[in-house]
Structure 1
Amino acid sequence: MSEKLDAGATVVIVGAGLGGVRVAENLRTGGHQGPVVMIGAETHPPYDRPPLSKKVLTEPAGRPDLKPDEFYTDSSIELRTGEHVDAVDAAAKTVTVSRADGSTYEQPYDALVLATGLLPREFPGAEGVDGVYTLRTIDDAEKLRGAIGEHPDGAAVVIGAGFIGCETAASLHTLGMSVTLVEPAPTPLAQAVGTEIGGLVTRQHTDKGVTVRSGIGVDEIVTDGASVTGVRLSDGQTVPADLVVVGIGSTPVVGFLDGSGIELASREVGGGIACNEVGRASAEGVFAVGDVANWRDHGGTQVRAEHWNHTVEQAAIVAAALLGTDHAVVPAVPYFWSDQYDLKIQVLGWPKADDEVHVVSDDGNKWLAYFSRDGMLTAVAGAGKVGAVMKTRPKLLTPTPIADVLPD
């Protein structure tokens, strides 16, 4: 079913990040002539988030803007930064917006695209402690970069060895800090790619000199009353720290939807905004994209994915639905990557922690591995093996026996 926009229809996009920008761009290139209003809570123009834990820390060279400033003017996209959407009235088709000066206004819409992303979880009891950081925004990155400058040879503890935690640990080490990476799971990235690949990632960090403490939790962030001094682990050890970076996950930004009539997905399926297979939410004219969006996949399962490529694909599908144009909604092969030290780690496909893992190449630094389930190829992962990973995409689009890709 199409919700094709009238020529002069107003599209309001809540969230000025990758998903919001791509929807707006696709609407304009697709021929929509009506107003496109993008509202962002941050004061900065839209920027790319993946570099925040990498180049923004290690090679500060300005904000990684998604588009030049003139793009928004040239495309007739009204970008309102530093404004916060407090509520949505889906029945009246309006959003309530607050400005930095405390004033509010009502913005009507014909179509509403929600792209509000995530908020990082803070470590309980450490809110407001000097020297404890999360990393989600450019302001977070600049604060952390400043702290690194104050402790160039200091000690850092990174709590949580997901992708953000691993990337941040690599960046801190590259900048000369002594780094301890703490993860309650058996290995870094265990939830995403399993423990065997997690072991290869562990080796990558330990070979560089990072201390990896896996299979152990954090009981407390220790302070002197105002500033962090260390991290107490669940085994009783206290690791000294001049700064601590917390990477223990994020939660979808959906609080502003209370009372809106827009259905949310359950926590069991990842939370966020419940959508169908083209991003349409439960209320008329409302769509969601990106990290906050929980789309129904082609098997009928609700899935919320936090990957850059996934957001780009969703934005194209939502724009096509609004424009009433044909856009083949085909099963995409999930893809994500992580830059750590001098290697790009890539994962293509649908890996599960209990898949069988076949490491087919490993020289002690670069490696390549296939995943299988019930004898069928499910995913491929590699470090420093860009071509080998990407050429597997066609085999993941059709059922492929693992025997067909394993070396003789």
Structure 2
Amino acid sequence: MGHIVVIGAGQAGASVVAKLRKDGYDGKITLIGAEPVPPYQRPPLSKAYLLGDMALERLYLRPESFYAENDITLRLGQKVTGIDPVAQTVTVGGETIAYDDLVLTTGSDPRRLPAAIGGDLEGVFTVRTLADVDAMAPAVTEGARALIVGGGYIGLEAAAVCAKRGVKVTLVEMADRILQRVAAPETSDYFRALHSGHGVDIREGVGLERLLGGDGRVTGARFTDGTELAADFVVVGVGIAPTTVLAEAAGLEIDNGIKLDGRCRSSDPHIWAAGDCASFPYQGGRIRLESVPNAIDMAECVAGNILGDGEEYVPKPWFWSDQYDVKLQIAGLNAGYDRIVTRQGAGQSASFWYFRGAQLLAVDAMNDPRAYMVGKRLIDGGKTANPDQVGDPEFDIKALMRA
């Protein structure tokens, strides 16, 4: 009987073990997680859960009983301290466990502010784990003053939740505009207007010089333009980095994450990876995708390939973000675009279509599920769209799928 060990009890790890059992694997399975709770959804943490609209148990991806019922050993609140690829063992809690195949689903870690500029002060939070949000929740009260550092989706979602709770929010982004790394200026303009309309003070092109504190607690911030701001708490949303410490120590190849081949196998034939921690070949290059759908799809590909499917992993990138009453849905990857076509809908509904030459690359759809659905199907099918038709609000966009 074989033994498959999975390190990392998040979305990808939970998906690997569930798929293995679903597809008939009858050997031993051990899922190891550093957090003391069963695998749970991360996206609602900083939204519905922080707002008190979702109970803890509803965060769980599956009831804890699922793992026992499917003979999956859960080792929670335990940190793996080493991997020996030659002996094919992992060390956890002082115990050595042998594996036939090992899957790394270690995820990613939030980038933190250096202690030298006040990043270690009390009242400075990141938003990644259940413990992070539980620690931050008491600070998110009506009338409090929050500083959000970073104008990406993490920072904007945190700003939206804080504003909905009656917090006075200031968001600073050192780049020229919010969402500069990930979206077109049109999408930045849309969300800047949305947040400004909810009272958020957005300051672009302004860096954080240092946080100010008293008695070990944050009290404010000084910015690179010389201004200062009082703050009761700070949320840091300046990106995440793949968690590769174990993989590096084990001698695996690293390239913006654990370097995988097209079938999600690492440089060691018995070690696989999936999710935020892993990079893989894509369209002649190499990418790493940070999304729930990618974590699930990669994990299921890994499970199938461990069982002998021999399938190449072909991602179908899509993402989402909820801010106030706006749902942003993104299909595709916009890298290399040279033209944006705007499709205006009713009210707050709009979509921005990214083209490179005549090829459709991606769609950002705000409260426009039809535009998202059509764009995703075209992109997944390797098709494109007529930009003039896309930009005509009178044109029935569903007709693009019949072309």
TM-score range, shorter chain: over 0.9
- SS of the residue aligned with 1:395? helix
RMSD value over aligned CA atoms?
1.6
Equivalent position of 2:303 in the other structure: 319
Distance 2:156 2:214 in 1: 27
Structure 2 equivalent of residue 171 of structure 1:
161
- What displacement does 1:234 show? 1.1
Deviation at 1:393, TM superposition (A): 2.0
Q: What percent of counterpart residues are identical?
A: 34
Which structure 1 residue ranges, 5 or more long, are not aligned?
A: 1-7, 99-103, 266-270
Q: Which residue of 2 aligns with 1:97?
A: 92
Q: Kindly provide the CA deviation profile for residues 200-258 of structure 1, in whole angstroms up to 9, marking residues without a partner as x.
A: 11111111111111121111111124111112111111121111000111121111234
Kindly indicate whether the alpha-carbon contact (under 8 Å) linking 2:344 and 2:350 is maintained by their aligned counterparts in 1: yes
Tell me which residue corresponds to 2:69: 74
CA contact (8 A) 2:301 2:313 kept: no
Partner residue of 2:277? Answer: 292
For residues 364 and 273 of structure 1, the distance between their equivalents in structure 2, rounded to whole angstroms, comes to 44
1:136-168 Cα deviation digits (max 9, x unpaired)? 10010011111224xx21110100111111111
Corresponding residue number in structure 1 for 2:139: 147
Question: 2:204 aligned with 1:214, yes or no?
Answer: yes
Give the AA of the match of 1:220: R
2:292 is the alignment partner of 1:303: no
Partner of 2:39: 46
- Matched letter for residue 29 of structure 1: K
Q: CA deviation at 1:83?
A: 0.7
Question: Is the deviation greater in 352-361 or in 113-122?
Answer: 352-361
Q: What TM-score results when the alignment is normalised by the length of structure 1?
A: 0.91
**Does structure 2 conserve the Cα–Cα contact (< 8 Å) formed by 1:46 and 1:66?**
yes
Aligned to 1:283: 268
In 2, distance between residues paired with 1:207 and 1:222? Answer: 28
Match of 1:110 in 2: 100
Q: Secondary structure at the match of 2:184?
A: helix
Closer/same/farther in 2, CA of residues 404 and 333 from structure 1, 3 Å limit: farther
SS in 1 for 2:251: coil
Q: Which residue of the partner structure matches residue 5 of structure 1? A: none
Change (3 A) 1:330 1:83: closer
**C-alpha spacing 1:200/1:26, structure 2 compared with 1 (3 Å):** same
The range that moved more, 254-263 or 313-322, is: 254-263
Cα distance between partner residues in 2 of 1:288 and 1:332: 15
Q: What does the per-residue CA deviation read over 1:73-124, in whole Å, with 9 as the maximum and x for residues that have no partner? A: 11111000011011111111011113xxxxx111110000000111111111
1:401 CA displacement: 4.5
1:332 aligns with 2:320: no
1:27 match = 20
Unaligned runs of 5+ in 2: 393-403
Other-structure match for 1:349: 332
CA contact (8 A) 2:114 2:120 kept: no
| Conserved? CA contact 1:14–1:115, under 8 Å | yes
Given that residues 279 and 288 in structure 2 are in contact (C-alpha distance below 8 angstroms), is that contact kept between their aligned partners in structure 1? yes
Q: Which amino acid aligns with 1:212?
A: I
Residue in 1 aligned with 2:128? 136
Aligned to 1:268: none
Higher RCO (CA 8 Å, separation ≥ 6 residues):
1
Give the equivalent residue in structure 2 for 1:381: 364
CA distance in 1, matches of 2:345, 2:176: 21
Are 1:90 and 1:262, in contact at CA under 8 Å, matched by a contact in 2? no
2: CA distance, partners of 1:404 / 1:33: 55
- Asked whether the 8 Å contact 1:156–1:179 carries over to 2, the reply is yes
Q: Secondary structure at the match of 2:183?
A: helix
Q: What amino acid is aligned across from residue 76 of structure 2 in structure 1? A: T
TM-score normalised according to structure 2 size: 0.92
Question: Is 1:65 the equivalent of 2:60?
Answer: yes
Report the CA distance between 1:330 and its aligned residue.
6.5
Check 1:290–1:330 CA distance in 2 against 1; reply closer, same or farther (3 A cut).
closer
Deviation for aligned residue 1:187: 2.1
Q: Distance in 2 between matches of 1:330 and 1:391?
A: 23
| 1:254 to 2:247 alignment | no
CA shift for structure 1 position 284: 1.9
Residue 222 of structure 2 corresponds to residue 229 of structure 1: no
